[in-house]
C-alpha cells in the first residue's frame, strides 16, 4: 500500500498542475508526500515493533534492535521477542553498543537480495550491514539504470556504506564509483561484491571524504547518470574531516548538481536526521536542481510489519529524475 497526502510546495519546471485542485489560477497545486514501503523482500521481515524496539528477521537470524519511532505496544507474545538470536544494547543514544547473543548464531550469514547474496554481520553497531528500508530505492535505481539507453550508465554512490546499492547497480549494468570514509565499510562492500559473484564488475572503491571527492570530480568535468547520497547526521572522513548534515549538505548538493549528466539522469538522497522534515530536503533539492527541470518526489522510507500492517518510518528521502 502506498499512502500520500498533499502539502503546499512549489512545482519544479516541467511538473504539471492539476486542473481539479480547486485553487484556480492563483497558485499551482502541491506535490504529494510519498511513503516508499519495503514489502515483499523475501529474506527480510519486520515481525513486530513497539516500546522503542523492533523484532526482525534477516535471512535465518532474528534480532531485537532499538527503534525510537516505535511508540506503540508490541503485538506478539513476549516469548517470541525473548527468542531472538541477538539483542542489541545501545551505549547512550547513538548506534554504538553491543550485541547479546543466544543460541550460538553465526557471526556472519548471507541474505539474498534480488538473487544476489549479501553479508549480514554482528558488530559494534546496531545495523547488520543491510538496510532493508532502502529496498524501494534499490528497485527505483535499478529501473532507471536499465532504462538508460545509448551508453553505459555511470553511478556515483557517496557515503556508500557496505555497498549493497553499489553491487545491485553493477549487476544492473552500471559502472559504479563507491565513495566511503570507513575502511571497514569498504572491506565489507568488497565482500558483498565477492559474495554476489561480481568480482569483475566495474566498481571503483574509493576511501575518501565524500565532499573532497565530489569537488575534485566536478573540477575534472566528470558526470554521472545517477547519484546516490546517504549522508550521516555527523561523521568524520578518513583524514579527520568533520561532516555536519545541516551545515554541509547544501554545498555538497550544489556540487552534485554539476556532476549530473546533462541529459537523462537521477539523484537519490536519504537522510536519517530525525529532527528534520522531508520538506526541508525537498525544498533544498528543488532549489538546486530547478534549472534542470525534471520530476522530484520526497517522503519517508517505511517498513511494513508482517502482522497487522503497521508502517514503521525509518528515514526521509528525496528523489529526482530527468528524462533529458
Q: Where are the domains of the chain?
A: 4-38+129-323, 44-121
What per-residue confidence (pLDDT) applies to 150?
73
Render pLDDT for 128-175 as a digit per residue (tens, 0 to 9): 999 999 999 999 999 999 998 778 999 999 999 999 999 999 999 999
Checking if the pLDDT of 21 tops 50, the result is no
Average confidence (pLDDT) over 255-279: 90
CB 224 within 8 A of CB 156: yes
Render pLDDT for 235-247 as a digit per residue (tens, 0 to 9): 888 888 999 999 9
Checking if the pLDDT of 207 tops 80, the result is yes
What per-residue confidence (pLDDT) applies to 309?
75
What per-residue confidence (pLDDT) applies to 125?
84
Render pLDDT for 175-202 as a digit per residue (tens, 0 to 9): 999 999 999 999 999 999 999 999 999 9
Checking if the pLDDT of 98 tops 60, the result is yes
Q: How far is CA 257 from CA 73, 159, 225, 243, 253, in A?
A: 43, 17, 11, 19, 6
- Read off the pLDDT band of 17 (50, 70, 90): very low
Checking if the pLDDT of 10 tops 90, the result is no
Backbone angles phi, psi at 217, to 5 degrees: -65, -40
Q: Where are the beta strands (DSSP E) in 7-104?
A: 32-38, 44-50, 53-58, 61-66, 86-90, 97-101
Percentage of the residues of the chain whose pLDDT score is greater than 90: 73
Render pLDDT for 100-115 as a digit per residue (tens, 0 to 9): 999 999 999 999 999 9
Q: CA-CA distance, 126 to 55, in Å (whole number)? A: 13
What per-residue confidence (pLDDT) applies to 273?
72
Checking if the pLDDT of 15 tops 80, the result is no
What per-residue confidence (pLDDT) applies to 308?
66
What the block records as the C-alpha cell of 124 is 559494534
Q: CA-CA distance, 302 to 79, in Å (whole number)? A: 26
- What's the pTM value of the predicted model, to 2 decimals? 0.87
Question: Of 274 and 20, which is predicted with more confidence?
Answer: 274
Give yes or no on whether 4-38+129-323 and 44-121 have one common fold.
no
DSSP 11-33: PPTT----TTSS-TTTS---PEE
Report domain 4-38+129-323's class.
alpha beta
Question: Of 210 and 12, which is predicted with more confidence?
Answer: 210
Checking if the pLDDT of 19 tops 50, the result is no
β-pairing verdict for 61-66 and 86-90 = parallel
Which helix (H) or strand (E) covers residue 245, if one does?
helix 245-259
- Domain range 44-121, its CATH number among 2.60.40.1180, 3.90.1150.10, 2.40.10.10, 1.20.960.40: 2.60.40.1180
- State the chain's mean pLDDT as an integer: 88
Checking if the pLDDT of 95 tops 50, the result is yes
Amino acid at each position: 500500500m502506498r499512502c500520500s497526502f498533499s502539502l503546499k510546495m512549489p512545482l519544479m519546471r516541467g511538473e504539471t498542475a492539476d486542473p481539479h485542485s480547486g485553487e484556480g489560477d492563483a497558485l499551482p497545486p502541491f506535490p504529494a508526500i510519498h511513503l516508499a514501503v519495503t514489502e515483499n523482500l523475501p529474506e527480510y521481515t519486520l515481525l513486530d515493533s513497539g516500546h522503542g524496539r523492533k523484532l526482525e528477521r534477516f535471512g535465518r537470524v532474528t534480532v531485537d534492535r532499538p527503534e525510537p519511532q516505535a511508540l506503540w505496544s508490541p503485538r506478539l507474545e513476549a516469548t517470541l521477542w525473548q527468542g531472538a538470536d541477538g539483542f542489541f544494547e545501545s551505549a547512550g543514544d547513538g548506534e554504538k553498543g553491543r550485541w547479546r547473543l543466544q543460541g550460538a548464531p553465526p557471526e556472519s550469514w548471507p541474505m539474498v537480495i534480488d538473487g544476489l547474496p549479501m553479508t549480514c554481520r554482528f558488530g559494534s553497531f546496531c545495523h547488520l550491514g543491510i538496510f532493508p528500508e532502502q529496498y524501494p530505492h534499490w528497485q527505483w535505481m535499478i529501473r532507471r539504470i536499465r532504462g538508460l539507453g545509448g551508453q553505459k550508465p555511470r553511478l556515483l554512490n557517496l557515503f556508500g556504506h557496505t555497498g549493497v546499492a553499489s553491487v545491485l547497480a553493477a549487476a544492473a549494468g552500471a559502472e559504479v564509483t563507491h565513495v566511503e570514509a570507513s575502511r571497514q565499510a569498504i572491506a565489507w562492500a568488497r565482500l558483498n561484491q565477492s559474495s554476489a559473484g561480481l568480482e569483475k564488475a566495474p566498481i571503483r572503491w574509493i576511501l575518501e571524504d565524500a565532499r573532497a571527492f565530489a569537488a575534485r570530480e566536478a573540477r575534472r568535468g566528470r558526470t554521472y547518470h545517477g547519484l546516490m547520497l546517504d549522508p550521516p547526521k555527523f561523521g568524520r572522513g578518513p583524514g579527520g574531516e568533520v561532516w555536519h548534515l545541516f551545515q554541509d549538505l547544501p554545498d555538497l548538493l550544489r556540487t552534485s548538481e554539476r556532476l549530473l549528466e546533462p541529459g537523462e539522469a537521477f539523484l537519490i538522497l536519504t537522510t536519517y536526521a530525525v529532527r528534520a522534515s522531508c520538506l526541508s530536503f525537498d525544498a533544498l533539492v528543488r532549489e538546486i536542481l530547478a534549472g534542470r527541470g525534471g520530476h522530484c518526489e520526497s517522503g519517508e522510507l517505511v517498513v511494513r510489519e508482517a502482522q497487522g500492517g503497521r508502517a514503521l518510518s525509518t528515514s526521509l528521502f528525496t528523489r529526482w529524475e530527468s528524462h533529458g
